Structure 1
Amino acid sequence: MKLVPRPSNERGNADHGWLKTFHTFSFASYYDPQHEQFGCLRVINEDRVEPKTGFGTHAHREFEIFSYIVSGELEHRDSMGNVEVMKRGDLQMTSAGTGIRHSEHTHGPKPVHFLQIWSMPSTRGLSPQYFTRHFADEEKKDGWAHVVAPVDGEGVVEKREAPGPAPVHSPIDLYATLLSQGMKVSHRFARQKGYIHVVQTSGYNTKEASGAQVRVSGAEGSPLDLKEGDGAYIMAAPGEEVVVENVGDRVAEVLLFDME
């Protein structure tokens, strides 16, 4: 197993006033040929949107687009007739397929902090679909909550609302945890690629990462320490195990991808 760090302050970053955003991969005006995508994972944007603002109606095709809500409330509207207000713990997945139009705006008086994630589908030309799931903090506490999984995976229900992970038409699984001080979780990879991201929960910070801290081990060499906003590429053989330990002074919110 090999770990390659992706420091928070090296991500693409833009402050538009109404939107403060980080880009793990090339996106909009940010381009870095070394960070265009990883396997089927194409976008991880960590966005903060001010009240009474948002993304106006715009179009997407083919991408699998999922939003992971960290704080605040986000209103989603789309050309399939879906209207929904999402809050902390909600996971919304739109399979854009042959094409959809949607908008996303803050709902209520507080800013919204969320991660927008895109993956590449295994099959093009699918009919657009929309799914929502909710995962309480208790489900993530000191263990992995399985929040996204391939549509043909075990226990995956292809309904708009259902328990379990949201279905995605990509070879990707997404897990989330709220890891307490001194606690650790492990994951055995099903595939050969992974990515880990520590959510920037303690506030917008464009400088060197701070806040919660985790230690990632399982690879040859020294363990890798990550703080809020930091991430790492993981190259693993199927069956190899990664361990994530909270070595900081507060709860860490961590996302882990297992993918091709």
Structure 2
Amino acid sequence: MVMKVIPRRSDERGNADHGWLKTFHTFSFAVYASGEHDQFGCLRVLNEDRVEPQTGFGTHPHREFEIFSYLVSGQLEHQDSMGNMEVLKRGDLQLTSAGTGIRHSEKCHGSEQVHFIQIWSIPHKGGLSPTYYTRHFTDEEKKDNWVQVVAPAGSPGVSDAREASGPAPVHSKLSLYATLLSPSSALPHVFPKEGDGELRKVYIHVVQTSRYNPGTPSGAQVRISGADVTVDLREGDGAYIMGEAGTEMKVENAGDRVAEILLFDVE
């Protein structure tokens, strides 16, 4: 079996402190441009954002992207041109299929900073009708377990209702899993056998929960291993991982605190 891991270190990400917004960009975004880090399969944007109270992203347009937000802490107020208005909190997953075009705003709600992961993926077809979904997953569900929070639309057990249990439907070849991994615990992940190509793609992101710390490694420690490869990650780090279908990798908490980890299985 073959597996390759390429770390994406937190302090190498694009980052900016605008006062009201502190942000890290895994892929090219806004004024940050990197030919080496434009996208990974259909995964196009992975931003770790912290927005201060009473501020946020004003109303702006999007089209032909699947846009979702994973809430880490605080509260995020969403409004859009489809008439949706919602305040999201820890454990919530919001997904907007922009399709032919929407306008929306995302602002910090309440008196505390909101910390969330902003994710965009490229849909497998254009001209879709705009749709909106929300899902909620508790910390207890995610404790030492991979919880699938996003799955391709039309997959078995995936509801297309605005609010439902189970993963939110995305119109991309992408699945997103989340875990809260305890110290000394480990979880396996097997590269799926479905899909095209010899090597399957996974992207791992370790959520930067400790603090906003550009250039300063801290917090949780995660070890990725499999097929004679071992790579250590810290909070804010990510990794491009390629493996043959059927290869098993292990994701281990090698530190002394709970690690919040996102795993993207993409094509």
**Please, what TM-score do these two structures have when normalized by structure 2?**
0.96
Rounded to whole Å, the distance in 1 between the matches of 2:19 and 2:32 is 17
- Could you state the TM-score of these two structures normalised by the residue count of structure 1? 0.98
What is the aligned partner in structure 1 of residue 235 from structure 2? 228
Residue in 1 that maps onto 2:206: 198
Q: Tell me what 1:66 maps to.
A: 68
Match of 1:242 among 214, 227, 249: 249
* In structure 2, C-alpha distance between the alignment counterparts of 1:238 and 1:92, rounded to whole Å: 30
Answering whether residue 259 of structure 2 is matched by residue 252 of structure 1, we say yes
Cα distance in 1 between the residues matched to 2:191 and 2:60: 36
- 3-state secondary structure, aligned to 1:65: strand
Give 1:209 shift: 2.1
Between 1:32-41 and 1:201-210, the stretch displaced more is 201-210
How many aligned residue pairs are there? 259
- Partners of 2:243 and 2:102 in 1: how far apart? 35
Distance in 1 separating the partners of 2:75 and 2:93: 12
Paired with 1:37 and 1:19, the residues of 2 have a C-alpha distance of 23
Identity of matched residues, %: 70
What do residues 127-178 of structure 1 show as CA deviations (whole Å, max 9, x unaligned)? Answer: 0000000000001000101000000212100010000000000000000000
Query: What secondary structure, in the 3-state scheme, does the structure 1 residue paired with 2:203 have?
Result: strand
Deviation per residue, 1:221-245 (Å, 9 max, x gap): 3x11101000000111222111101
* Residues 172 and 257 in structure 1, CA contact (< 8 A), matched pair in contact too: yes
> 5+ residue gaps in structure 1?
none
2:254 is matched by which residue type in structure 1? V
User: Which of 88, 91, 105 pairs up with 2:107?
Assistant: 105
- Which whole-Å deviations, capped at 9, do the CAs of 1:109-135 have from their partners, x for residues lacking one? 000000000000001000000000000
Structure 1: which 4+ aligned runs deviate by more than 4 Å?
Answer: none
2: distance between equivalents of 1:66 and 1:237?
28
Gaps of 5+ in 2: none
Kindly provide the CA deviation profile for residues 63-96 of structure 1, in whole angstroms up to 9, marking residues without a partner as x.
0000000000000000000000000000000000
The letter for the 2-side match of 1:137 is: D
1:208 Cα deviation from its structure 2 partner: 3.4
What RMSD, in angstroms, separates the aligned Cα atoms of the two structures? 0.7
* Contact 1:6–1:230 (8 Å) recurs in 2: yes
